[in-house]
Amino acid sequence: MNAIPQKTNVLVVGGGPAGSTAAGLLAREGFDVTLLEQAQFPRYHIGESLLPTILPILELLGIREKVEARGFQQKQGAYLEWGSETWALDFGELSGNYTHAFQVRRDEFDLMMLENASELGAKVFQNVEVRSLQMDGDRPVRAAWQQKAVNGSQPQQGEISFDYLIDASGRNGLMANRYLKNRKYHNVFQNVGVWGYWKNTDRLATGREGDIAVGSIPNGWLWGIPLSDGTMSIGAVMHKNIFNQYKNKEMDAIYSEAIDASPLMRKITKNAELISEVKTESDYSYASEKFCGPGYFMVGDAACFLDPLLSSGVHLATMSAMLASASIISFTRGDVDEAESQSFFENSYRQAYLRFLVFLSAFYDVGRTKESYFWEAQRVTQQDVPADFLKLAFLNLVTGVKDLADIQSDETHHFVLEEMTKRIDDNLRWRQDKKALAGMQGEKLASVRENANFFDSIEGIFSINESEAIGGLYVTLVPTFGLARVKQTS
């Protein structure tokens, strides 16, 4: 194996979906990229349900065909028993866009992504932990690493200097937790996940094999994710206070009580057998105060994390990696200056995150059937997102610039959540009557499309065309990958 170099153009810390996407895109553009990953892949990771936005990312990385051919479970949509509603959601049904995604075993998927980064030219080293960073003022310039002893070799250590750092270290958050100390946990979504793997589940309980099943319970909600090997990942998400109340209870008992509380999951697991240990992870949502600074970009969970209800994790990880790579490429080419590239990244990633955060909160509100502590706790407030941030994230999206700009700060949250809830309700109504949807024309069809575009702008990859530019910049994929300026009209 080659030795870890002493110098590199871009150092990527972490080889999850965020790190491997950034490393691959930058290496393909000719950057000298070194990626250090502390684990040996394939390694276990939670987060198996992907969104259709993974397809354009895989296309950009040149591995869509390979991933399609791998035989991951295809996912055409979601089935939700959410509060008093039943919701069969087909991807692309309202918009005609990408119509599927995948349910993946993350050990296999992440390995494919990491190998692809290496094939695109990144120098990838596994079993190598970045232990510390050396700063020149506010700018990280060198990393100290330690390599585990593998196959009888001695542990090694060394240093590597770099021009840019991409921190893709996930929830470890190398920059945010160790140096910037700027990770802020939201009051909302202070939830805990507990999950396990099952065999012999009823995979057709939702009407269609491959969909993610989601069922709400008084204390939270559960996911059921069917995987291609015939097993199913079943997890429960509940507020941390609910776990505190159960102090003397074993985690396994809390888990099976949650499954029992959901008619949908009871049906799915009726003849099934739990074949793994029960795992748990706090999934409190957080965001760093800054996502980038001189010489560094934080991508994926290293910058921010969101409750898994909408399966947004890998989407935000790969999209932010794309935004950071485009920013570095354009700054290095001299198309934009460093401050502009940082401001573009900061604003576009934060807006993507905030839109999701508020969408989640509105979605939780729709599911609320009774005054249970869990559901109340999912309401986003001014403390979670300042009104100005929220306005910025939703300008041009909620009823047009003027309406939102005119709203008083203390009314912003209420206004945005109400607008969002209205659209979620419309979306549900249209999806429930498939026959009416198929025959829709004229103005009605235009409202359906408008509704679909609204959610695409929240859940999709945005700032990749002129109309969604942020600060006058957007990402271009062709003819070259990078940032472009909106053309001035005279």
Ligand X SMILES: Cc1cc2nc3c(=O)[nH]c(=O)nc-3n(C[C@H](O)[C@H](O)[C@H](O)COP(=O)(O)OP(=O)(O)OC[C@H]3O[C@@H](n4cnc5c(N)ncnc54)[C@H](O)[C@@H]3O)c2cc1C
Both tokens assigned to 359: 């969408």
Q: Is 459 one of the binding residues for ligand X (CB under 6 A)?
A: no
Task: Report the nearest approach of ligand X to the CB of residue 5 (Å).
Answer: 16
Show contacts with ligand X in window 122-181 (CB under 6 A): 129-130, 168-170, 172, 174
| Residue 313 binds ligand X (CB under 6 A) | yes
Q: Which two tokens stand for residue 3?
A: 């030795």
- Amino acid identity of residue 435, one-letter, is K
Q: Which stretch binds ligand X (CB under 6 A): 33-41, 252-260, 357-365, 477-485?
A: 33-41
CB of 489 to ligand X, least distance (A): 38
Of residues 16 and 482, the one with the C-beta less far from ligand X: 16
- As given in the structure block, the two tokens for residue 216 are 């709400």
Is 236 among the residues that bind ligand X (CB under 6 A)?
A: no
| Interface pick for ligand X out of 4, 10, 12, 16 (rule CB under 6 A) | 16
Two tokens at 18? Answer: 């965020």
- Binding segment toward ligand X, per CB under 6 A, in 250-258, 299-307, 336-344, 442-450: 299-307
57 contacts ligand X (rule: CB under 6 A): no
The pair of structure tokens assigned to 47 is 């987060």
Burial code (b: 16+ CB inside 10 Å, e: under 16) for 44-67 equals ebebbbbbbbbbbbbebbebeeeb
Cα separation, 278 vs 386, whole angstroms: 37
Q: Is 29 a binder of ligand X (CB under 6 A)? A: no
Q: What is the CA radius of gyration of the chain?
A: 22
> Looking at 31-39, 214-222, 266-274, 384-392, which segment touches ligand X (CB under 6 A)?
31-39
Nearest distance from residue 179's CB to ligand X, in Å? 12
Total residues contacting ligand X by CB under 6 A comes to 36
CA distance 88 to 70: 27
Q: Which of 311, 327, 332, 361 binds ligand X (CB under 6 A)?
A: 311
Q: How far, in Å, CA of 340 to CA of 331, rounded?
A: 8
In this chain, which of 81, 93, 283, 384 binds ligand X, going by CB under 6 A? 283
49 lies in the site for ligand X, by CB under 6 A:
yes
**Please, which residue, 73 or 412, has the CB nearer to ligand X?**
73
At a CB cut-off of 8 Å and minimum separation 6, what does 381 contact?
A: 187, 188, 413
**Closest listed residue to residue 366, CA positions, set 87, 83, 88:** 83
Task: Output 234 or 358, the one with its CB closest to ligand X.
Answer: 234
In sequence order, which residues have a C-beta less than 8 Å from that of residue 473 and are 6 or more positions away?
336, 340, 344, 463, 483, 484, 485, 486
The Cα 13–Cα 38 span in angstroms is: 9
- The least distance separating ligand X from the CB of residue 402, rounded to whole angstroms, comes to 35
Name the residues that contact ligand X, by CB under 6 A: 13-19, 36-39, 45-50, 129-130, 168-170, 172, 174, 193, 235, 281, 283, 300-302, 308, 311, 313-314, 317
